[in-house]
Structure 1
């Protein structure tokens, strides 16, 4: 990808701006990247552990003081190495926080479609048709995640035939299983819907946004994208660039005037893309593993 510079007004309190998101009580759902000089973004990983390890090795050699790091969701799902991927993310977090001046809020993990499904799975006793919901999840990447925690999909499907009480016991047991892996529960608990630089220059999302909806009101568009995202022809809420990590429509990576998608197809035979953005929206470094 080549660098592309754009400019626009810094967002204020208008609908969809960071100020509005915070003032409407949504601030805990959004991460604010403060005092950033540059921001690195990692595309959807889909539990491609070897690509992630290589990407971390490359990142470690390129990080500079003042850099921030955002993982753009779909950390897991589809790929088989669920546990190893989460452990690697936690290990690199420790390394990142050893950098001079690094703070915990300088590294952010977004909730992707896979993590959103996982969150819904842990509440599946409240779904109107739990078996149908689980079947849909299994077809969309959930099966390796269950197996990673030692749960056979057939066992889960059998439990879902038994009623709400049995399902609640099963989800509680699944939560306990997650907690037996150090850091996993905490990592799932710190996932954010989106992240943005404190001056309103860059917005980081999983799959995209609907340009006609305020940031605080974006819901499924964050996980599944919007056809209107690619056609964005002006700054969204004043952001100079909106960066996503997954293209649910399989269109791959792109760099347009106001948007960028880093999805290189990791987990489906493609590359894991990583890019570094300056606050003017330019791609200043990038690599693919």
Structure 2
């Protein structure tokens, strides 16, 4: 069994302290209607001591990115205003879509920016750019014109997002993973590499996932590892040491949410 590393920096990982249950929401892909329905279900069932983790891919693919981020911010305000709640009880994870967004803002450093940019457009980024009124073609032109042109364009992208209050702050406050302080539950976006410690996962969080449900022992001493994106969209699947909960929201399927107790059991599960 891999031993749990010393506590990672809080700026990289969300740490849920003193919570009894954790709600988790799978990849949203900017489907704000389904998100609002799930938020309504959670709001009616919240208990004192509950925490909430969004498992990444909040943006990408869907057309309502601005509305989705606004809904996330609105629900956050409600969630942390409850008696006994703290801001640290709610965590947004970085998914593959948010990782692409970060890479977009650093496009001037890519060795082949035009190729990277086109790949990201084809894998969900186009809808996010459209949602903020950003001209995709200008990005393609800039990616061919060199670092100065790319920097000028990515600065315009930042300005477009920062023009929506709170949006830029949310997209820069994402965590790589989250876990309960007693090492009961670990929440990730897509997968983990079981041969590496938590602090050395890197791209496995966003692009991994193969064999996720086949873990043969607790990873890092956690009771369960929970993920929110499955490229096969297999729904709520429970294995001895892992839980996968993606039903394909953004690909024609519903949005999934589940409430987990610290012993790794699913207390409640919902789809919208």
| TM-score tier (shorter) | over 0.9
Distance 2:48 2:152 in 1: 47
Shift of 1:200: 0.2
Kindly tell me the number of residue pairs found equivalent between the two proteins.
272
Q: For the aligned residues, what is the CA RMSD?
A: 1.3
* Equivalence for 1:181: 164
Residue deviations 1:226-276 (CA, integer Å, cap 9, x gap): 323221011001100000000124444311111001101101111111100
Where do 1:163-182 residues align within 5 Å? 163-182=146-165
Match of 1:100 in 2: 83
Distance 2:111 2:163 in 1: 30
Kindly indicate whether residue 263 of structure 2 is the aligned counterpart of residue 280 of structure 1.
yes
Of residues 141, 147, 168 in structure 1, which corresponds to 2:124? 141
Please say if 1:202 is aligned against 2:188. no
Q: 1:59 aligns with which of 33, 42, 50?
A: 42
State TM-score, norm by structure 2. Answer: 0.97
Deviation >3 Å, runs of 4+? 249-253
TM-aligned CA deviation for residue 21 of structure 1 = 4.3
Instruction: Tell me the CA shift for residue 152 of structure 1.
Output: 2.4
Q: Quick one: distance in 2 between partners of 1:225 and 1:60? A: 32
In 2, distance between residues paired with 1:256 and 1:197? 19
The yes-or-no answer on 1:248 pairing with 2:231 is: yes
Deviation at 1:219, TM superposition (A): 1.1
- Aligned match of 1:121: 104
Q: Partners of 1:252 and 1:287 in 2: how far apart?
A: 11
Do residues 232 (structure 1) and 218 (structure 2) align?
no
2:176 corresponds in structure 1 to 193
1:178 deviates by 1.1
Residue 56 of structure 2: aligned partner: 73
Aligned equivalents of 1:165, 1:158: Cα separation in 2: 12
Alignment partner of 1:160: what SS?
helix
8 A Cα contact 1:79 1:267, kept in partner: yes
What is the CA–CA distance in structure 2 between the aligned matches of 1:196 and 1:250, rounded to whole Å? 23
Cα distance between partner residues in 2 of 1:250 and 1:39: 22
**2:60, 2:97 within 8 Å by CA — same for their partners in 1?**
yes
